[in-house]
């Protein structure tokens, strides 16, 4: 019985990174992207540190995610991030495709709606970071593509066929990505009618999505968290319903459980009882989910859960990321240190979305701390 | 963890049927008082140590609920598959309320973990108070004696405890 109980009560190795630690971690991640982009705007997708080899593959949705995170970093003052994002946009321009419902991006005849969603976030964030409006036409056109993938019931078609348009495929993450993109568009272009499809997705996400698409386990949806936070900044923000709060409470539980579990993975015997550490992309999404729900709660004062506990969990996610990031010292003996410094590895491999989600999580936690201090300073 | 769930969980972990099975043939009232008093005292002590204990282990309150659920499940399975405890061996007289009744029949690892988890979540006072209804039932069961401690009754209590164990575990899993 003691043994069984001990399996459940591993120590949770959490901490609270300093502000400087968060900033350095973000800067190092941006530096990794800067060092690992080629002349065509493609990033190093996956790298095996032990064998010092680039591994095959690419994913345009992840490429779009990287661009969004880099513009987020630029907006929040990480030097050079915007230039890398601008260079990475070359791949988007190269793979831009006109489909029957509007522009999309990718290779082949079947393109992801999530890619378009993250590109909307990218272009909108670029707009915020630089004030430039030269790509507004494409941004709005992307928005109309997204409006076309939202079905009557609020579900989101994951694939867009160039000739036949959206199909009935679903993705655990594209739903939140598209909702977030439309939510952002409504903030930036309030007269274009992007709020209606965004609200349809919100209703579906809260009431039906898990039952219809993923009865078990429920989706741990950091993109949904981004969308809720963005919608809370609409001038005509929808009120939180009991169902919204129930959904958010369950999401926070999922994020927190995963943070607690991950913090128990400290090597040694825990490798047997808890397994290897998670991908940094996964840990990053936990920080993103918690960070967005915290920002939402702080701006609206609408949170029934204990704020301090949530901040502790978000700090813990950031601590795990900061403590696992490869430093120059760690990579001193590497054959290709520029492939490793600033990156996160699991079992010797890193993938560009590890850096992307970790980067966004660290930056979000910076924003949370800023908001908390502003709140404390308020009379 | 809601107060209701904590109360029900104590009820399941301190199952009166198991206590009745270990009830002595004589002096049941004083023995019941000693058993309930000693068990309550142990619950209060463990609950009061909850914070330092969890800090020492580096474990959150939410994870301690998962641990409590697992400990409850293990005790519940034992109640289902193993013969109920017997009144003997026991300390003489009313001290039978201490051994075997309070320790080890009533104050199991499941009850200890529930006290820790309950105090971490709701505070020492709430954790202690929510154990009282179950302890009152236990006292009654000890006074009634072994006819309430038949194996089928103890196994039934174990079945109920498995349900509560699952609820406590899930409460910890989905906690923030």
Note the pLDDT tens digit of each residue in A70-83. 999 999 999 999 99
- Pairwise CA distance, residues A197 & A353, whole Å: 28
Chain-chain contact of B63 with A313 (C-beta, under 8 angstroms): no
Q: Cβ contacts (< 8 Å) between B74 and chain A: which residues?
A: 1, 4-5
Question: Which distant-in-sequence residues (6+ apart) come within 8 Å of A352 by Cβ?
Answer: A33, A36, A43, A44, A45, A46, A62, A63, A66
Instruction: Give the residue ranges of chain B where pLDDT is below 70.
Output: none
Average pLDDT over residues A197-213: 96
Distance from CA of B173 to the nearest CA of A (A): 6
Chain B residue with the nearest C-alpha to that of A15: B58
How many beta-carbon pairs below 8 A join chains A and B? 59
Per-residue pLDDT, A217: 83
| Share above pLDDT 70 across residues of chain A, in percent, rounded to a whole number | 98
**A244: closest CA among A260, A261, A228, A233?**
A228
- Pairwise CA distance, residues A35 & B112, whole Å: 55
Average pLDDT over residues A247-260: 94
φ, ψ for residue A97, nearest 5 deg: -130, 140
Q: Are A212 and A251 in contact (CB under 8 A)?
A: no
Q: Is the pLDDT of residue A2 over 90?
A: no
Distance from CA of A117 to the nearest CA of B (A): 29
Tokens of A192: 């274009």
Chain A residue with the nearest C-alpha to that of B176: A253
Q: Cβ contacts (< 8 Å) between B64 and chain A: which residues?
A: 9
Average pLDDT over residues A305-324: 94
Per-residue pLDDT, A4: 67
Chain-chain contact of A2 with B67 (C-beta, under 8 angstroms): no
Residue-wise pLDDT for A338-365, tens only, equals: 999 999 999 999 999 999 999 999 999 9
Which member of B70, B74, B176 has the closest CB to residue A313? B176
Domains of chain A: 26-58+246-373 (no CATH), 95-238 (1.50.10.20)
Give B 41-70 residues with CB within 8 A of chain A.
57-60, 62-64, 66-67, 69-70
Which member of A7, A252, A260 has the closest CB to residue B60? A260
**Domain residues of chain B, as ranges?**
3-173
Residue-wise pLDDT for A107-153, tens only, equals: 999 999 999 999 999 999 999 999 999 999 999 999 999 999 999 99
Q: Cβ contacts (< 8 Å) between B63 and chain A: which residues?
A: 8-10, 12, 260
Within 10 Å of residue A114's Cβ, how many Cβ atoms? Answer: 28
Q: Cβ contacts (< 8 Å) between B173 and chain A: which residues?
A: 253, 257
Chain A residue with the nearest C-alpha to that of B78: A1
Residues β-bridged to residue A96: A105
Distance from CA of B114 to the nearest CA of A (A): 12
Picking from A81-90, A147-156, A191-200, A299-308, which range would have the lowest pLDDT averaged per residue? A299-308
- Pairwise CA distance, residues B76 & B85, whole Å: 13
Q: Does B115 touch chain A (CB under 8 A)?
A: no
- Pairwise CA distance, residues B50 & B124, whole Å: 8
Residues β-bridged to residue A234: none
Q: Tokens 């201090």 sit at which residue? A: A373
Per-residue pLDDT, B176: 84
| Count helices and strands in chain B by DSSP H and E runs | 8, 0
- On average, the pLDDT of chain A sits at 95
- Distance linking the first and last C-alpha atoms of chain A: 52
- Pairwise CA distance, residues A265 & A244, whole Å: 32
Q: Cβ contacts (< 8 Å) between B75 and chain A: which residues?
A: 1
- Pairwise CA distance, residues A54 & A112, whole Å: 25
pTM for the predicted model, two decimal places:
0.90
- The single-letter DSSP state of residue A150 is B
Chain-chain contact of A5 with B70 (C-beta, under 8 angstroms): yes
Chain-chain contact of A306 with B176 (C-beta, under 8 angstroms): yes
Q: Is the pLDDT of residue A306 over 90?
A: no
Q: How far is CA B28 from the centre of its chain?
A: 19
Q: Does B37 touch chain A (CB under 8 A)?
A: no
Chain-chain contact of A5 with B174 (C-beta, under 8 angstroms): no
The per-residue DSSP string of B30-95 comes to HHHHHHHHHHHHHHHHHHHTHHHHHHHHT--HHHHHHHHHHHHHHHHHHHHHSPPP-S-S--SGGG
- Pairwise CA distance, residues A33 & A43, whole Å: 7
Q: Is the pLDDT of residue A379 over 90?
A: no
Chain-chain contact of B62 with A260 (C-beta, under 8 angstroms): yes
Q: Is the pLDDT of residue A219 over 90?
A: no
Residue-wise pLDDT for A138-196, tens only, equals: 999 999 999 999 999 999 999 999 999 999 999 999 999 999 999 999 999 999 999 99
Dihedral angle of Cα A111, A115, A117, A121, to the nearest 10 degrees: -150
Q: Tokens 């946009």 sit at which residue? A: A89
- Pairwise CA distance, residues A145 & A140, whole Å: 9
Peptide bond into B100 cis (omega under 30): yes
Per-residue pLDDT, A302: 80
Q: Cβ contacts (< 8 Å) between A9 and chain B: which residues?
A: 57, 59, 63-64, 66-67
Chain-chain contact of B176 with A1 (C-beta, under 8 angstroms): no
Distance from CA of A306 to the nearest CA of B (A): 8
Average pLDDT over residues A209-231: 92
DSSP 3-state of A194: coil
Tokens of A65: 């995610």
Which residues of chain A approach chain B closer than 8 Å at the C-beta? Answer: 1-2, 4-5, 7-13, 249-250, 252-254, 256-257, 260, 305-306, 309-310, 313
- Pairwise CA distance, residues B30 & A131, whole Å: 81
Q: What share of chain A is helix, strand, coil (3-state, %, to 5)?
A: 60, 10, 35
Picking from A103-107, A295-299, A322-326, B41-45, which range would have the lowest pLDDT averaged per residue? A295-299
Q: Does B71 touch chain A (CB under 8 A)?
A: yes
Picking from A55-59, A306-310, B78-82, B140-144, which range would have the lowest pLDDT averaged per residue? A306-310
């Amino acid at each position: 019985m003691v043994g069984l109980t001990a399996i459940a009560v591993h120590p949770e190795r959490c901490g609270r990174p300093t502000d400087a630690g968060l900033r350095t971690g973000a800067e190092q991640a941006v530096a990794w992207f800067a060092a690992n982009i080629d002349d065509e705007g493609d990033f190093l997708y996956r790298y095996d540190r032990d064998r010092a080899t680039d591994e095959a593959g690419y994913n345009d949705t992840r490429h779009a995610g990287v661009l969004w995170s880099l513009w987020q970093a630029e907006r929040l003052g990480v030097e050079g991030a915007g230039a890398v994002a601008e260079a990475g946009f070359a791949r988007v321009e190269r793979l831009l495709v006109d489909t029957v419902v509007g522009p999309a991006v990718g290779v082949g005849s079947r393109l992801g709606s999530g890619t378009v969603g993250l590109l909307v976030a990218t272009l909108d964030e670029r707009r915020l970071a630089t004030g430039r409006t030269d790509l507004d036409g494409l941004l709005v056109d992307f928005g109309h593509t997204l409006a076309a993938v939202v079905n009557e019931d609020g579900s989101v078609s994951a694939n867009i066929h160039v000739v036949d348009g959206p199909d009935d495929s679903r993705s655990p993450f594209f739903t939140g990505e598209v909702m977030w993109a439309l939510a952002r568009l409504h903030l930036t272009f309030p007269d274009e009618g992007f709020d209606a499809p965004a609200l349809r997705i919100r209703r579906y996400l809260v009431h039906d999505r898990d039952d219809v698409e993923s009865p078990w386990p429920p989706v741990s949806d950091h993109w949904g968290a981004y969308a809720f936070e963005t919608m809370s900044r609409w001038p005509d923000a929808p009120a939180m319903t009991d169902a919204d709060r129930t959904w958010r409470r369950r999401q926070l539980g999922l994020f927190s459980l995963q943070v607690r579990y991950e913090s128990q993975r400290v090597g040694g015997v825990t490798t047997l009882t808890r397994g290897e550490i998670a991908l940094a992309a996964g840990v990053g999404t936990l920080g993103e989910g918690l960070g967005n729900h915290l920002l939402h709660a702080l701006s609206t004062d609408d949170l029934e859960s204990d704020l301090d506990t949530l901040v502790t969990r978000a700090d813990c996610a950031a601590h795990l990321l900061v403590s696992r990031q490869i430093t120059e010292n760690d990579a001193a003996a590497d054959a290709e240190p520029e492939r490793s410094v600033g990156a996160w590895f699991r079992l010797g491999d890193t993938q560009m979305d590890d850096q992307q989600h970790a980067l966004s999580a660290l930056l979000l936690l910076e924003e949370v701390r800023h908001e908390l201090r502003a709140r404390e300073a308020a009379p | 963890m809601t107060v209701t769930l904590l109360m029900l969980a104590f009820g399941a972990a301190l199952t009166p049927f198991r206590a009745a099975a270990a009830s002595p043939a004589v002096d049941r009232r004083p023995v019941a008082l000693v058993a309930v008093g000693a068990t309550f005292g142990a619950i209060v002590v463990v609950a009061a140590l909850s914070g330092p204990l969890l800090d020492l282990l580096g474990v959150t309150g939410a994870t301690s609920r998962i641990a409590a659920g697992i400990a409850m499940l293990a005790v519940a399975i034992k109640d289902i598959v193993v013969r109920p405890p017997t009144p003997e061996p026991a300390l003489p007289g009313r001290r039978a309320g201490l051994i075997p009744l309070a320790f080890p029949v009533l104050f199991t690892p499941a009850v200890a973990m529930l006290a820790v988890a309950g105090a971490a979540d709701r505070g020492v006072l709430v954790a202690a108070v929510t154990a009282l209804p179950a302890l009152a039932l236990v006292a009654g069961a000890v006074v009634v004696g072994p006819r309430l401690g038949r194996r089928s009754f103890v196994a039934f209590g174990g079945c109920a405890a498995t349900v509560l164990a699952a609820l406590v575990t899930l409460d910890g899993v989905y906690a923030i």
